[in-house]
Amino acid sequence: MSHKPLFSNRSVRGFTVIFIFCLAFAIRLYDLTDLPLDFHPTRQLLSAIKARAIYYQTQPDGISTDQLETGIRMAKFKAGVEPVVFERLVAFTYQLIGEQLWVARVYSSLFWLIGGVFLFLLARDLISFDGALISTVYYLFFPYAIIASRSFQPDPLMVMLTLVFWWSFFFWMRSPSWGLSLLAGLVGGFAIFIKFSAAFFVIGGALGLALSQYKFRDLLRNGQAWMMAVLGVTPAMAYLVYGIFFRGGLNQQFAGRFIPALLLSPLNYLAWETKVSFAVGGLFIMLALLALLSTEDRRYRSLLYGLWSSYLLYGLFFDYHVATHDYYHLPLLPIVGLSLAPLGNWFLSRVAESTGGWARGGVFVVLIFGLLTNVRSVAGLMKREDFRPQAVMWAEISREIGDARVIALTEDYGARMEYWGLKSLATWPTVGDLNYVNLRGGGADFDGLFRRYSSQRDLFLVTNFEELMRQPELRRRLELFSLHAKEDGYWLFDLNAPIEGGGVP
């Protein structure tokens, strides 16, 4: 059934697309130079510390030898599963403009926008221009997407490459050639190399599209399909072999990704639903699934069945992380966006059929007003807290503790001290950490835990007061030691100076 397009004028179409992408980029540059503590700072600071170490290895001018050696040494002790690719790009840029953390924010934003271009192209060719516009607006302007797509972590790059793969694989199906299969294989392989979890969405999208046109046995006989599969697997497999058998330790980083007991836990599925609704929007998931179930286009339906199935398998495999880490749901944003295309096409066509002339102009103004209102709301969230004073505070704490041996209950597992204070801290576990250990069959009594963590330590640093309130046993124990320092934002307890009572005001 044909639909009357709302955006039928070519010039209006071009202006609309350019306006949407420019606005999407502009909001991501807002409050650009604030510190990356607004979104999963633990993960962002991990990449920041690694990028700084790569930059320091070039021995830039104006930085002391001691600082260079400390920065490089800290990165060596940072565990990581993903290859250091994005961090190398940022470090290379540091060589041109100096160490500026906001560089990563610009790159991540560009990655997300480039992904949006390919999402738009794919949805346009599968559904229509109007449907593609709705898909892309959701992908670019959903509030969580705006905040998350600025973060210094590999996920925005992984999502971009996955979208490029879907588009290139779709074009290979329309016009099979060795060149297009080479392109699709390289892009898909790079996406998986950047972050192994991309394999679910690369394979799910490819199978979904391919099975709408080919029988499975025909795919097994297709040389170009085999080339894509080999190129898709080789980079990640090479990194795995290197990380496990040559560098060592990579296999330990995969431990705990899948916890079988959680598959039978209703509470874990409730936590999963909470995280995915926050990251993607429960209402939009409902609309996307309704659109998927009601569409008649075979290719589109097959692709989306493959993608939604891959997300379900992905969630069952990363059963702990999907219930505790909202950014694990970032790959679902383009899937929901693509799923919304038929619904968007139907809605805008109804508007086009029931309006004309000046009324269409009014509809256009209303849509732009809605976008600007959303952008203004997100800008308010970005500006709600200024994190710049954190850099000063952590430098001050570093000077205060000097050469003392410190155990800390602090944010981000001590990464803020490592980045701005250039010191490493032993960190006291949070309630979440203790629960995670219990899930995996570990655990210990409080007295044993405190002795183990505090032995041979001089000071106990507290900056995460909210977490301290969650651990009353720890608070009572710290009351038995005198305060070495009490300032706005942090307390330092002297573990070598026990007292009877007092300590905590």
Q: What is the pLDDT of residues 278-296, one digit of tens each?
A: 999 999 999 999 988 888 7
Distance between CA atoms of 52 and 63, rounded to whole angstroms? 12
| Mean pLDDT, range 106-133, rounded to an integer | 96
Domain borders along the chain are 10-66+105-382, 389-498
Query: Rounded distance, CA 87 to CA 469, Å?
Result: 36
Q: Which residue, 412, 451, 444, 408, is CA-closest to 427?
A: 408
In the predicted model, what is the mean pLDDT of residues 421-437?
88
pLDDT given at position 352 = 73
Under a CB-based contact definition with an 8 Å cutoff, are residues 192 and 236 in contact?
Answer: yes
Q: 3-class SS at 20?
A: helix
Give the model's confidence band at 113: pLDDT under 50 very low, under 70 low, under 90 confident, else very high: very high
Average pLDDT, the chain: 90
Evaluated on CA atoms 86, 170, 21, 351, the torsion sign reads negative
Tokens of 301: 């339906």
Between the alpha carbon of residue 501 and those of residues 244, 467, 477, 479, 496, the distances in Å are 50, 21, 10, 6, 15
**Residue 222 DSSP SS3:** coil
| CA 18 centroid distance within chain | 26
The CA distances from residue 463 to 366, 402, 405, 407, in Å, are: 46, 17, 16, 12
Task: Give the pLDDT confidence score for residue 256 in this predicted structure.
Answer: 58
State the DSSP code for 486. E
Q: Structure pTM? A: 0.92
Whole-number Å distance between alpha carbons of 56 and 91 = 9
**Whether residue 252 has pLDDT greater than 80:** no
* 3-state SS track over 57-97: CCCCCCCCHHHHHHHHHHHHCCCCCCCCCHHHHHHHHHHHH
Both tokens of residue 100?
A: 């500026």
Q: Residues 300-311: what's their mean pLDDT?
A: 95
3-state secondary structure of 358: helix
Distance from C-alpha of 304 to C-alpha of 298, rounded to nearest angstrom? 10
pLDDT above 60: residue 325: yes
Please state the length of the chain: 505
Mean pLDDT calculated for residue range 211-233: 90
Distance CA 197, CA 202 (A): 9
Q: Are 363 and 355 in contact (CB under 8 A)?
A: yes
The Cα 241–Cα 185 span in angstroms is: 20
Q: Could you tell me the strand order of the sheet in which 481-487 lies?
A: 426-427, 406-409, 459-462, 490-498, 481-487
d(CA 115, CA 112): 5
DSSP letter (8 states) at residue 247: I
pLDDT band per the 50, 70, 90 thresholds, residue 1: very low
Whether the pLDDT of residue 362 is over 90: the answer is no
Nearest to 401 by CA among 487, 505, 295, 277: 487
d(CA 205, CA 308): 9
